[in-house]
Amino acid sequence: MARIVVLGAGIGGVPMAFEMKENISDDHQVTVISDSPTFHFVPSNPWVPPKWRTPEELKIKLAPVFQKKGIEFIQKAATKVDPKNNKIDLDDGSAVEYDYLVIATGPRLAFDEVPGLGPEGHTSSVCHVDHAAVAAQDWEKYMQDPGPIIVGAVQGASCFGPAYEYLMILETELRRRKVRDKVPMTFVTSEPYVGHLGLGGVGDTKGMLESALREKTINWITNAKVDKIEKGMMFVTEVDENGAEKQKHELPFKHSMMLPAFTGIDAVRHTKAEGLINPRGFIIVDEHQRNPTFKNIYSVGVCIALPPVEKTPLPVGTPKTGYMIESMVTAAAHNIRDELAGKEPSDVPSLNALCLADMGDTGIAFLAVPQIPPRNITWSQEGKWVHLAKIGFEKYFMRKIRKGISEPYYEKMILKFMGVVRLK
């Protein structure tokens, strides 16, 4: 019997456990380790501060779901991944041994890299549902005395979509409350241009997002390095195309949400096992999602190492989006199944991106096949239907989690018809 351990229970970890269980016999054990008793649907976090959603609406209790599927669940925090001894140390002093490990932890949020950044500093966050709950309290106080708003992403960030979504959701909420005229809004980003998204743009995302910001009277600063944040004031250095200082900005605000850069979590970041992680603590994987040094370790999701799409004046990471992560999950599950059968891994994830970005009362959808250029398909579209589609997708994905399903057959058929598949 092999024990397959999945470390993490988010967008990557939970489907990974489901798909792994589907692909192996009952002779093998699937175990999930997570410090949280619940799954969180992170893409809906930007809806929490204006109270379009409550935090509880985005959570699903994991123990009953895993029990129904015959998956062991250990709700404890990992303190160290020890690949040389095939074990994971936990915060209660115990350890879990494994034959195969899939690291699906998501990232560590590196608020500490910019003074004053994050919930412990002077800006809000929607990276975690608990952060979004705190941001909802901040927003309620803000609405009693509205003023300037700054939203964006700092240098080194790789996940830009939620910043655009949060910006436009707040803009919509302000209009609904008839106070938009009292609120100057500025988008501050390390991207070289609006709509870059860490992907070099997808279709006409540059034109569509610039047009949306102009239409909503939102200013923007690109190639922006956030030096520090004090209460009510953000200090930003704008650089030119060569990375040299172009202009200093001191930007006042009464509410701000800035996405941080990511690193690997401490349990892997501090490991002494050479060859497991890159300098930022992300898991190194080959085309099969397997670590080249420790071949019984796979990794999926935001915690894997991917190089930037292109050279930019400021550090801009490559995002790992939802469907891209699902393709990693399928490849990893199939490859571990093959290894258990005595075969070599052969499946490669497609790394396609199919994204729905909510813009308050409208939205932008884009398809990139594959996500990282050059691409076979590049498509983007905007309209009110995207906003409605994202609401529908939230309900659909959370239903999949409750049912313990990774990819229903009808989903596979519909996406295949669109030219979107999980494996190459």
Residues with Cβ within 8 Å of residue 47, at least 6 apart in sequence: 53, 169, 358
Three-state secondary-structure class, residue 120: coil
**Tokens found for residue 160:** 């830009």
Q: What angle do CA 168, 170, 173 make, to 5 degrees?
A: 110
Catalytic residue among 355, 365, 368, 369: 355
- Alpha-carbon 292 to chain mean position: 24
**Tokens found for residue 173:** 């909420």
Give the end-to-end CA distance of the chain in Å, rounded to a whole number.
30
- Compute how many other C-beta atoms are within 10 angstroms of the C-beta atom of residue 239: 19
Residue 84: phi and psi, rounded to 5, are: -70, -25
Distance CA 181, CA 330 (A): 48
- Compute how many other C-beta atoms are within 10 angstroms of the C-beta atom of residue 181: 9
Residue 389: phi and psi, rounded to 5, are: -65, -35
Per the annotation, the verdict on 303 as an active-site residue is no
Residues with Cβ within 8 Å of residue 295, at least 6 apart in sequence: none
DSSP-derived letter for residue 385 is H
Per the annotation, the verdict on 355 as an active-site residue is yes
Distance CA 351, CA 371 (A): 6
Contact 121, 115 (CB under 8 A): yes
Number of residues assigned to the chain = 424
- Alpha-carbon 299 to chain mean position: 15
Catalytic residue among 11, 110, 159, 197: 159
* Nearest CA-CA partner of 303 in 16, 105, 83: 105
β-pairing, 353-358 with 363-369? antiparallel
Distance CA 376, CA 357 (A): 22
State the catalytic residues: 159, 355
